[in-house]
A and B are shown apart, each in its own frame.
Chain A
């Protein structure tokens, strides 16, 4: 069990640029989640995948955001035309079948700073 890994750990970009983050969940976990955490707040749910299917998207996920999990393994989160308000920690988590009783395993996050 190598845990949930996220890449990169930090990303600094200029407003208007596109960015992409990657998440590698624990290998046997079929459920994958993206959360966003801003300073002084708890994480907020963005989206959920079961295998390769994206089953729910929060209204926080505007049209500039897209998430994929093409083979049911790793996932990517892309933000197009970044805005300063997108600056946040983006957290990925995974869980095995049997959730919500099964706990979430979180990665260390990608800290995005939009200048």
Chain B
């Protein structure tokens, strides 16, 4: 069965510092990969997605992620974090066919300090 691991439950960074959130997946083939963000009281919002092609994908709000097949990883990065980025981030996978039966990771909660 497919699974997603986000090893960091909670991360604290200073405003303006760089950010990397880790994600590893386990799946027989290369699935479709996503990062979602969830702010308190809000629904999940898609940051970016990877299907195929260029392994570095750009998303909204200045985020990017890099797919590394050899490491089964899809880490999320941002060069300079803003206070408004404080939220919970979920990595997710979908089988590369069919519908959006998404498997989410357990999430990483990001705290931004001034």
- Identify the stretch in B13-21, B40-48, B70-78 within 8 Å (CB) of chain A at 4 or more residues: B40-48
- A100 and B32 within 8 A (CB): yes
Task: List A contacts of B99 (CB < 8 A).
Answer: 31, 48, 50, 55, 95, 99-100
Q: How far is the CB of B7 from chain A (nearest CB, A)?
A: 14
User: Could you say which of B34, B43, B97, B103 has the most chain A C-beta atoms within 10 Å of its C-beta?
Assistant: B43
Q: Total A-B pairs in contact (CB under 8 Å)?
A: 66
- Residues of B contacting A: mostly: loop
Task: List A contacts of B97 (CB < 8 A).
Answer: 100
- B43 and A45 within 8 A (CB): no
- Identify the stretch in B61-69, B79-87, B88-96 within 8 Å (CB) of chain A at 4 or more residues: B88-96
- B100 and A31 within 8 A (CB): yes
- B44 and A43 within 8 A (CB): yes
- B100 and A100 within 8 A (CB): yes
Task: List B contacts of A33 (CB < 8 A).
Answer: 100-101
Question: What is the interface of chain B, defined by CB distance below 8 A to chain A?
Answer: 4, 9, 32, 34, 41-46, 49, 51, 90, 92, 94-107
Can you spell out 9 A-B residue pairs with CB atoms less than 8 angstroms apart? A41-B106, A42-B4, A42-B106, A43-B90, A91-B44, A93-B44, A99-B99, A100-B97, A104-B100
Question: What is the interface of chain A, defined by CB distance below 8 A to chain B?
Answer: 4, 31, 33, 35, 40-45, 48, 50, 55-56, 91, 93, 95, 99-104, 106-109
